[in-house]
A and B are shown apart, each in its own frame.
Chain A
Protein backbone atom coordinates (compact mmCIF):
# COMPACT_ATOMS: atom_id res chain seq x y z
CA UNK A 1 0.00 0.00 0.00
CA UNK A 2 1.50 3.34 -1.02
CA UNK A 3 0.91 7.04 -0.53
CA UNK A 4 1.27 7.34 3.22
CA UNK A 5 3.94 10.02 2.82
CA UNK A 6 3.84 13.16 5.01
CA UNK A 7 6.43 15.32 3.24
CA UNK A 8 8.35 14.87 -0.02
CA UNK A 9 11.35 12.61 0.42
CA UNK A 10 14.66 14.27 1.24
CA UNK A 11 17.98 12.51 1.87
CA UNK A 12 18.24 11.79 5.61
CA UNK A 13 20.83 14.14 7.09
CA UNK A 14 22.29 15.29 10.37
CA UNK A 15 23.60 18.79 10.89
CA UNK A 16 25.35 20.53 13.79
CA UNK A 17 23.18 22.62 16.10
CA UNK A 18 24.90 25.97 16.38
CA UNK A 19 22.59 28.14 18.44
CA UNK A 20 20.04 26.99 20.95
CA UNK A 21 17.78 29.34 22.86
CA UNK A 22 18.00 29.51 26.65
CA UNK A 23 14.67 27.68 26.82
CA UNK A 24 15.92 24.88 24.54
CA UNK A 25 19.13 24.46 26.58
CA UNK A 26 16.93 24.29 29.68
CA UNK A 27 14.88 21.49 28.12
CA UNK A 28 18.02 19.50 27.31
CA UNK A 29 19.49 20.06 30.77
CA UNK A 30 16.19 18.87 32.29
CA UNK A 31 16.31 15.72 30.12
CA UNK A 32 19.86 14.95 31.29
CA UNK A 33 19.06 15.61 34.97
CA UNK A 34 15.97 13.36 34.80
CA UNK A 35 18.23 10.57 33.54
CA UNK A 36 20.83 11.24 36.25
CA UNK A 37 23.47 12.46 33.77
CA UNK A 38 25.70 15.55 33.65
CA UNK A 39 25.83 17.98 30.77
CA UNK A 40 28.25 20.73 29.77
CA UNK A 41 27.68 23.84 27.68
CA UNK A 42 28.95 27.40 27.18
CA UNK A 43 27.61 29.99 29.59
CA UNK A 44 25.93 33.17 28.47
CA UNK A 45 25.67 36.45 30.35
CA UNK A 46 27.58 38.23 33.08
CA UNK A 47 25.38 37.65 36.11
CA UNK A 48 27.82 35.22 37.80
CA UNK A 49 30.98 37.16 36.89
CA UNK A 50 33.80 36.65 37.92
CA UNK A 51 33.16 33.02 39.02
CA UNK A 52 31.52 32.21 35.66
CA UNK A 53 32.47 34.34 32.70
CA UNK A 54 30.81 34.60 29.30
CA UNK A 55 31.69 31.53 27.16
CA UNK A 56 33.09 29.47 30.07
CA UNK A 57 32.32 25.78 29.67
CA UNK A 58 30.20 24.75 32.66
CA UNK A 59 29.09 21.28 33.73
CA UNK A 60 25.70 20.87 35.39
CA UNK A 61 25.11 17.68 37.40
CA UNK A 62 22.00 16.25 39.02
CA UNK A 63 21.51 16.25 42.79
CA UNK A 64 21.93 12.52 43.36
CA UNK A 65 24.31 12.03 46.27
CA UNK A 66 23.94 15.53 47.70
CA UNK A 67 21.16 17.95 48.51
CA UNK A 68 20.98 21.63 47.56
CA UNK A 69 22.60 23.92 50.15
CA UNK A 70 23.03 27.70 50.25
CA UNK A 71 26.08 28.72 48.28
CA UNK A 72 25.71 26.11 45.53
CA UNK A 73 25.57 27.46 42.01
CA UNK A 74 22.36 25.96 40.69
CA UNK A 75 20.63 25.63 37.33
CA UNK A 76 16.91 26.21 37.60
CA UNK A 77 13.94 26.93 35.38
CA UNK A 78 12.22 30.24 35.94
CA UNK A 79 8.57 29.11 35.73
CA UNK A 80 7.46 32.54 34.48
CA UNK A 81 9.79 32.75 31.48
CA UNK A 82 10.52 28.98 31.17
CA UNK A 83 14.19 29.92 30.69
CA UNK A 84 17.06 28.27 32.52
CA UNK A 85 19.07 30.40 34.93
CA UNK A 86 22.43 29.66 36.53
CA UNK A 87 22.69 31.56 39.81
CA UNK A 88 23.87 31.03 43.37
CA UNK A 89 21.43 29.51 45.83
CA UNK A 90 21.10 31.93 48.76
CA UNK A 91 18.11 30.52 50.63
CA UNK A 92 16.37 27.17 50.63
CA UNK A 93 13.37 25.87 52.59
CA UNK A 94 11.62 22.48 52.32
CA UNK A 95 9.30 23.98 49.65
CA UNK A 96 10.97 26.98 48.04
CA UNK A 97 14.32 28.48 47.15
CA UNK A 98 15.81 31.86 46.28
CA UNK A 99 18.84 32.41 44.05
CA UNK A 100 20.93 35.41 43.10
CA UNK A 101 23.55 36.19 40.51
CA UNK A 102 26.83 37.09 42.27
CA UNK A 103 27.11 40.07 39.95
CA UNK A 104 23.50 41.24 40.42
CA UNK A 105 22.25 43.84 42.87
CA UNK A 106 18.95 42.06 43.59
CA UNK A 107 18.03 38.46 44.23
CA UNK A 108 15.66 36.52 41.97
CA UNK A 109 12.04 35.76 42.89
CA UNK A 110 11.48 32.72 45.10
CA UNK A 111 10.29 29.61 43.33
CA UNK A 112 9.11 26.11 44.13
CA UNK A 113 12.01 23.70 44.76
CA UNK A 114 10.84 21.47 41.93
CA UNK A 115 12.26 24.05 39.51
CA UNK A 116 15.84 23.26 40.54
CA UNK A 117 17.47 21.16 37.80
CA UNK A 118 20.95 20.55 39.17
CA UNK A 119 24.16 22.24 40.30
CA UNK A 120 27.27 23.51 38.56
CA UNK A 121 29.93 20.89 39.31
CA UNK A 122 32.73 22.22 37.13
CA UNK A 123 33.72 25.43 35.39
CA UNK A 124 36.23 25.29 32.55
CA UNK A 125 37.45 28.80 32.04
CA UNK A 126 39.31 29.73 28.90
CA UNK A 127 42.67 29.47 30.67
CA UNK A 128 42.05 27.14 33.58
CA UNK A 129 39.74 24.52 34.98
CA UNK A 130 38.12 25.05 38.36
CA UNK A 131 35.99 22.91 40.58
CA UNK A 132 32.75 24.73 41.36
CA UNK A 133 32.35 22.83 44.63
CA UNK A 134 33.81 25.47 46.93
CA UNK A 135 34.13 25.04 50.68
CA UNK A 136 31.24 26.19 52.87
CA UNK A 137 33.01 29.29 54.35
CA UNK A 138 33.94 30.52 50.85
CA UNK A 139 30.36 30.05 49.65
CA UNK A 140 29.07 31.98 52.68
CA UNK A 141 31.56 34.79 52.01
CA UNK A 142 30.48 35.00 48.35
CA UNK A 143 26.80 35.17 49.37
CA UNK A 144 27.64 37.91 51.89
CA UNK A 145 29.67 39.98 49.41
CA UNK A 146 27.05 39.51 46.72
CA UNK A 147 24.18 40.51 49.04
CA UNK A 148 25.97 43.80 49.81
CA UNK A 149 26.42 44.43 46.08
CA UNK A 150 30.20 44.40 46.56
CA UNK A 151 30.84 41.92 43.72
CA UNK A 152 28.66 44.04 41.42
CA UNK A 153 30.52 47.24 42.37
CA UNK A 154 33.95 45.58 42.05
CA UNK A 155 33.09 44.27 38.59
CA UNK A 156 31.94 47.73 37.47
CA UNK A 157 35.13 49.25 38.90
CA UNK A 158 37.38 46.70 37.17
CA UNK A 159 35.60 47.27 33.84
CA UNK A 160 36.24 51.04 34.17
CA UNK A 161 39.93 50.39 34.91
CA UNK A 162 40.18 48.12 31.86
CA UNK A 163 38.61 50.85 29.69
CA UNK A 164 41.08 53.45 31.00
CA UNK A 165 44.07 51.13 30.42
Chain B
Protein backbone atom coordinates (compact mmCIF):
# COMPACT_ATOMS: atom_id res chain seq x y z
CA UNK B 1 0.00 0.00 0.00
CA UNK B 2 1.45 3.33 -1.03
CA UNK B 3 1.74 5.84 1.78
CA UNK B 4 2.21 9.50 0.89
CA UNK B 5 4.25 10.06 4.08
CA UNK B 6 6.82 7.42 3.10
CA UNK B 7 10.02 7.76 1.08
CA UNK B 8 10.51 5.39 -1.86
CA UNK B 9 13.57 4.37 -3.81
CA UNK B 10 13.90 2.44 -7.05
CA UNK B 11 14.65 -1.27 -6.69
CA UNK B 12 18.14 -2.39 -7.69
CA UNK B 13 16.54 -5.04 -9.91
CA UNK B 14 15.63 -2.48 -12.55
CA UNK B 15 17.67 -1.12 -15.44
CA UNK B 16 16.59 2.12 -17.10
CA UNK B 17 17.81 3.94 -20.16
CA UNK B 18 16.59 7.00 -22.07
CA UNK B 19 15.93 5.86 -25.62
CA UNK B 20 14.65 8.18 -28.31
CA UNK B 21 13.49 10.65 -25.66
CA UNK B 22 11.55 8.13 -23.53
CA UNK B 23 12.62 6.48 -20.32
CA UNK B 24 12.62 2.72 -20.93
CA UNK B 25 12.36 0.55 -17.83
CA UNK B 26 13.37 -3.11 -17.77
CA UNK B 27 12.67 -4.98 -14.50
CA UNK B 28 14.84 -8.03 -13.85
CA UNK B 29 13.65 -11.45 -12.77
CA UNK B 30 16.32 -13.65 -11.17
CA UNK B 31 18.98 -11.22 -12.38
CA UNK B 32 17.89 -11.30 -16.04
CA UNK B 33 16.12 -8.51 -17.91
CA UNK B 34 13.41 -9.61 -20.32
CA UNK B 35 12.73 -7.30 -23.26
CA UNK B 36 10.11 -9.73 -24.51
CA UNK B 37 7.60 -9.35 -21.72
CA UNK B 38 8.48 -6.87 -19.02
CA UNK B 39 9.80 -3.76 -20.70
CA UNK B 40 7.78 -0.54 -20.62
CA UNK B 41 8.33 3.18 -20.99
CA UNK B 42 6.97 6.24 -19.19
CA UNK B 43 5.51 9.46 -20.52
CA UNK B 44 7.06 12.78 -19.46
CA UNK B 45 5.13 13.10 -16.20
CA UNK B 46 5.66 9.43 -15.38
CA UNK B 47 9.39 10.01 -15.89
CA UNK B 48 9.24 13.09 -13.62
CA UNK B 49 7.72 10.96 -10.83
CA UNK B 50 10.28 8.16 -11.39
CA UNK B 51 13.24 10.53 -11.31
CA UNK B 52 12.13 12.07 -8.01
CA UNK B 53 12.11 8.71 -6.22
CA UNK B 54 15.43 9.06 -4.38
CA UNK B 55 14.65 7.27 -1.12
CA UNK B 56 14.98 10.56 0.80
CA UNK B 57 12.07 12.74 -0.29
CA UNK B 58 8.66 11.64 0.94
CA UNK B 59 5.85 11.21 -1.55
CA UNK B 60 3.94 14.17 -0.12
CA UNK B 61 6.82 16.50 -1.00
CA UNK B 62 7.20 14.92 -4.45
CA UNK B 63 3.51 15.59 -5.12
CA UNK B 64 3.92 19.22 -3.98
CA UNK B 65 6.99 19.67 -6.21
CA UNK B 66 5.10 18.27 -9.22
CA UNK B 67 2.05 20.43 -8.53
CA UNK B 68 4.37 23.43 -8.50
CA UNK B 69 6.34 22.41 -11.60
CA UNK B 70 3.27 21.61 -13.67
CA UNK B 71 1.12 24.39 -12.24
CA UNK B 72 -1.64 21.83 -11.58
CA UNK B 73 -3.95 21.37 -8.54
CA UNK B 74 -2.38 19.33 -5.75
CA UNK B 75 -5.37 16.97 -5.43
CA UNK B 76 -5.26 16.00 -9.09
CA UNK B 77 -1.51 15.34 -8.97
CA UNK B 78 -1.90 13.34 -5.75
CA UNK B 79 -4.53 11.00 -7.28
CA UNK B 80 -2.44 10.44 -10.41
CA UNK B 81 0.85 9.94 -8.56
CA UNK B 82 -0.72 7.43 -6.17
CA UNK B 83 -2.10 5.53 -9.20
CA UNK B 84 1.26 5.20 -10.92
CA UNK B 85 3.03 4.45 -7.64
CA UNK B 86 0.62 1.56 -7.10
CA UNK B 87 1.53 0.25 -10.55
CA UNK B 88 5.26 0.53 -9.69
CA UNK B 89 4.65 -1.26 -6.40
CA UNK B 90 2.69 -4.11 -8.05
CA UNK B 91 5.58 -4.62 -10.46
CA UNK B 92 8.05 -4.79 -7.57
CA UNK B 93 9.96 -1.71 -8.69
CA UNK B 94 9.96 0.15 -5.36
CA UNK B 95 11.75 -0.04 -2.02
CA UNK B 96 10.02 1.72 0.86
CA UNK B 97 12.55 3.48 3.10
Contacts and interface: CB of A to CB of B under 8 A. Distances in A.
Interface residues of B, number: 36
A1 B68 contact: yes
Contacts of B95: none
A148 B68 CA distance: 67
SS of B interface (majority)? mixed
A28 B17 contact: yes
Contacts, number: 107
A17 B33 contact: no
A2 B40 contact: no
A12 B49 contact: yes
A66 interface: no
A144 interface: no
Interface in B1-44: 15, 17, 19-20, 24-26, 28, 31-36, 39-44
Given A3-B71, A5-B70, A15 B32 contact: no
Contacts of B41: 14-15, 17
B35 A28 contact: yes
A41 to B, nearest CB: 4
Nearest to B24: A17
A28 B25 CA distance: 10
Given A12-B48, A20-B35, 8 more contacts: A1-B68, A9-B45, A10-B45, A13-B46, A14-B41, A17-B39, A17-B40, A39-B32
